[in-house]
Structure 1
Amino acid sequence: MKSRMIAGASALALAATLSACSSGTAEAGGTTTIDVWLMRDSVSEDFQTTFEREFEAEHPDIDAKIQIQEWDGIGEKVVAALASNDPPDIIEIGNSQMPQYSQSGGLLDLSDKVDDLGGEEWIPGLADPAVWDGKTYGVPYYAANRVVIYNKTLFEAAGIDAGSITTRDQWIAATTALNSGDIQGIYLPGQSWHALAGFTWDEGGTFASQDGENWTGTLDTPEAMAGMKFYAQLQALGNGPKDSDVASPPQTDIMASGDVAQIISAPGGARSVIAANPELEGKLGFFPIPGKTADTPGAVYVGGSELVIPAASDAPEAAYTFIKALSGEKWQRKLAAAMGYVPNKPSLADAVADDPGAAAMAVAGTQNGHSTPIAPGWAAVEAQNIIHDYMTAVLTGGDPAEEAQKASDEITRAMNQAS
């Protein structure tokens, strides 16, 4: 779920280590052993134990060895694994990382499996990054996106029904009414580019467009600039800093003070707020980021993961059997309910109906979820903080058109150089 640049400098050095420590695929008594890398917080210990037990009971010829990996340093480790002759048989990969790995030639082409998996139903925010050069290399695993977390007490005091907020205009009106005295209608720092992405997509814009093998930054288009204009309007209804992101300081700590009516966050942010201020237990609610009209929720950036099979796997058929089970309806429903994630198909979203945060998340994630530009060069845009710098420049008084043109030029350069 995290966007990481792939670090390949020490891939060859790690490859030897991986080959030495990986159990690989073994044939013993007709049983095929597969090594599976899942990421930290992808599954709980209970879910993992239950899935392994039931999967192996249904497939006694497969012995699945699940190893939990840490996000920090995973890019380098995956590069090394794909360069080795003894990689794990299945790897969980963040969806924003897919373009880098797909173009490497180290992943198995799964295009002929899409129909078997019901891929026509996959949510676009996961399905799109799994495709490279017309071929599908990843199977959508789970998704997550941002919602509005709100303080019920402050909404009630202002006489505002959060359930009635379904459009941007209603959201602005409610936030304006909440923003009085010591109360911030919303805490929105100046560099929350994931929120900007949603507003930009709602306006019909994007960050970059592709023409053949070349990319062009598009923050200077009227549509993208309209997204930034709305962001600035919303950001002004609070006291969020214009030169930092949601982590500096942690926006959940700011909301924990009790005088912030709303933040834009993944639902899990509510747990952090309550951990910082237990008195807010039971006083936080969720609703989808509103869209321009009530017919469609606001667009959101969908983070999440894909399941891939390295091309050098010794047991691709057994690996596919594992992936088909974990990405299928039965276990998608169980995973969504257990972990509070958005399942990989809209038809399964009712699995989180009893979880207010996940249910709000699933509304936009399944109906209006998007991905960032599907190109290896996008990682360079994030690493260089191009969009962060652009947002701060506009919010601190820079000419919107000039700053948008400057940022677009930098995106063009970064994406084409990296690609």
Structure 2
Amino acid sequence: MKKRILPLVALGVTATLGLAACAGDSGDSGSGDGADGEGKTLNVWIMQGTNPDSTAFLDEVAAAFEEETGAKVEFEEVQWADAHDRFVTSIAGGTTPDIAETGTTWTAEFADAGALLPIDEYVDAEDGLRDDLVEGLEVAGTYDEELYGMPWYAGVRSIIYRADIFEELGLEAPKTWDDIVTAGEAIKAAHPEIMPFPVPGDAEFQVYPWVWGAGGEIATLDGDTWTSELDSAESQEGIQFYTDLATKHGFSSAGATTWKETDLRDAFVAGNVAMMLSGSWTPNAILEANPDLEGKLGAAVIPGKDGDIAPSVLGGSHLSIFNTTENADLAWQLVDLMTTGEFAEKWADETGYFPGVQSAMEEALASTDPLVAPFAQQMVEGGASVPVTPNFGAVQAKKTTNAMMQSILSGQKDVETATKDAATEMTELLNQ
């Protein structure tokens, strides 16, 4: 099977957009009759931890849904850090909610466990909805050729940089790997107090764009057998370039070896970082934390080895319906209300994420905002997924990629040895 399970996101938009930014019906997507919800209540889990305060938004959704159907909605916010264990426990005990936000790497796992309802019939009953789904999220929500997760929102990582420092030094946003090194050397010389491009060792999704940008892959599927390709020549080249930013060029620090993405963001907010990979949802958070950076930020797509766009992990969430629900039709009505039309656009506006349906993305795709447009281009032309398999959760739990990175950054292993060890472990975990 072709390397990247998820093809690059194709939204069918015009080329000019290249210059631009995780089961009823609503009036917006318009299917037929809605379910009668009088006297009924839906229980819904929404993740919290990286999302902004969503209380007002969810209250508005609940009010609109009750007016439309007569049913009440009880939203419960669950911390991302605790969510997976809570899902596993509730699935085992048959105490799952009617609907829950499921991260894109979890949907296949829960579907494989038999906990989710397929929603293809609902989606296909809505006029034009199937073709309106963002392809990357649809693929990530599909398991064994059935759709179990309705695309809700997505985010993608690109490069965020200090535009004021680049302007001061006469630098342009990097378009190639060589540009990153050239800019980093100039920043290092002019501002030795600033890390030009830190390499966080505990940030898995920061690694894969360099693998893909060199033509490598995380893993491939042949029949029923997965094989990790982190040790291919192409993958090794990408990982070598990325780790060299720290070990060869000195653009990072020893402390960054154990950093998570949040640590990287905090260092950027503090003014200690000039370039970093970060998500489309972070510019607003950065400016909120440090208003002095207003007007001093820039964003750019991640360059591949040869100057094209390196794919970046398209993260985000689905809304999934659990098979314990007694009100599947009503549950779909709420899912549809939240993921299409007015509420899809409102959620995107409030969070900085991208909607899960193309029709709600028009504003973002047409944007000329320098902190929106590059992320839109990255998503359209370079959105990709980790292997879509229930077992990838085991890879993440084992921190296979993170351990590989830390062994290289700390000097314990060279790239060849570290990638071979990681590939062996990943292959074993993917085929359990």
TM-score range normalised by the length of the shorter chain:
0.7 to 0.9
2:155 pairs with one of 136, 144, 151:
144
1:373 aligns with 2:387: yes
1:34 aligns with 2:42: yes
- What is the TM-score when the length of structure 2 is the normalising length? 0.79
- State whether residues 252 and 272 of structure 1, in contact with CA within 8 Å, keep that contact through their aligned partners in structure 2: no
Name the CA distance, whole Å, in 1 between partners of 2:129 and 2:225.
32
1:17-74 C-alpha deviation (Å, 9 max, x unpaired): xxxxxxxxxx9994432222212237622222222223333x2333322222222322
Give the Cα separation in 2 of the matches to 1:369 and 1:193.
Answer: 16
In structure 2, runs of 5+ residues without a counterpart are 1-34
Letter in 2 for 1:51: V
2:197 maps to which residue?
186
User: What SS class does the counterpart of residue 106 from structure 2 fall into?
Assistant: helix
- Paired residues of 1:199 and 1:228 also in contact (CA < 8 A): yes
Q: What's the counterpart of residue 299 of structure 2?
A: 286
Query: Cα RMSD over matched residues?
Result: 3.0
User: Which of 254, 270, 274 is matched with 2:267 structurally?
Assistant: 254
**% identical equivalent positions:** 28
CA contact under 8 A between 2:245 and 2:252: conserved in structure 1?
no
Aligned residue for 1:220, secondary structure, equals: coil
1:52 is matched with 62
Q: Does 1:161 align with 2:161?
A: no
Deviation at 1:249, TM superposition (A): 8.7
What's the CA shift for 1:399?
A: 3.9
Distance 1:195 1:29, change over 3 A: closer
**CA-CA distance at 1:379 after TM superposition:** 2.0
Aligned residue in 2 for 1:223 = 234
Aligned to 2:429: 414
**CA deviation string 1:207-229 (max 9, x = no partner):** 22223333222111122122213
Shift of residue 233, structure 1, vs aligned partner: 4.0
Cα displacement string for residues 160-182 of structure 1 (whole angstroms, at most 9, x for unaligned residues)? 233xx444444443333333141
State the alpha-carbon separation in 2 of the partners of residues 29 and 412 from structure 1.
Answer: 47
Q: Where do 1:164-313 residues align within 5 Å? A: 165-181=174-190, 182=192, 183-235=194-246, 236=249, 238-241=251-254, 244-247=257-260, 250-270=263-283, 273=286, 278-292=291-305, 297-313=309-325
Residues in 2 aligned to 1:125 and 1:28: alpha-carbon distance in whole angstroms? 33
How many residues end up aligned between the 2 structures? 387
In 1, the alpha carbon distance for the partners of 2:78 and 2:395 equals 26
Structure 1 336/277 Cα, relative in aligned 2: closer, same or farther at 3 Å?
Answer: closer
Matched, 1:328 2:336: no
Structure 1 unaligned regions, length at least 5:
1-26
1:337 aligns with 2:356: no
Normalising to structure 1: TM-score of the pair?
A: 0.82
Q: In 2 relative to 1, CA 284–377 (structure 1 residues): closer, same or farther, beyond 3 Å?
A: same
Aligned-partner SS, 2:431: helix
Are the counterparts in 2 of residues 252 and 270 from structure 1 also a CA contact under 8 Å? no
More RCO (CA 8 Å, sep 6+): 2
Paired with 2:323 and 2:350, the residues of 1 have a C-alpha distance of: 31
Deviation of 1:144 after TM superposition, in Å, equals 1.4
Matched AA of 1:61: G
Query: How many Å separate the matches in 2 of 1:90 and 1:393?
Result: 40
Q: Structure 1 stretches (4+) deviating beyond 6 angstroms?
A: none
The counterpart of 1:106, out of the listed 106, 115, 118, is: 115
Q: 1:91, 1:308 within 8 Å by CA — same for their partners in 2?
A: yes
Change (3 A) 1:341 1:213: same
Provide the rounded CA distance (Å) in 2 between the counterparts of 1:362 and 1:319.
31
Name the SS of the counterpart of 1:140 in structure 2: strand
